[in-house]
Amino acid sequence: MYKYLPGLDIIILKILLIAKEKIGFFLPFILIVINAVILQN
């Protein structure tokens, strides 16, 4: 898929922990990002 940059997985985990607490607020934004990534592929 794609290669991890050093420390990137830790950053992603921190973002996920924050997002999990506010998932209701971030969910629409996450869906938009996912759709944008899919359209670029």
pLDDT digits (tens, 9 = 90+) for 1-41: 556 567 878 888 898 888 788 777 777 888 899 899 888 87
Residues 26, 15: contact at Cβ < 8 Å?
A: no
Task: Report how far Cα 11 is from the mean position of its chain's Cα atoms.
Answer: 10
pTM here? 0.37
Q: Each residue of 7-34: b (16+ CB within 10 Å) or e?
A: eeeeeeeeeeeeeeeeeeeeeeeeeeee
Task: Look at residue 5 in the predicted model and tell me its pLDDT.
Answer: 66
Task: Look at residue 39 in the predicted model and tell me its pLDDT.
Answer: 86
The domain spans of the chain are: 8-40
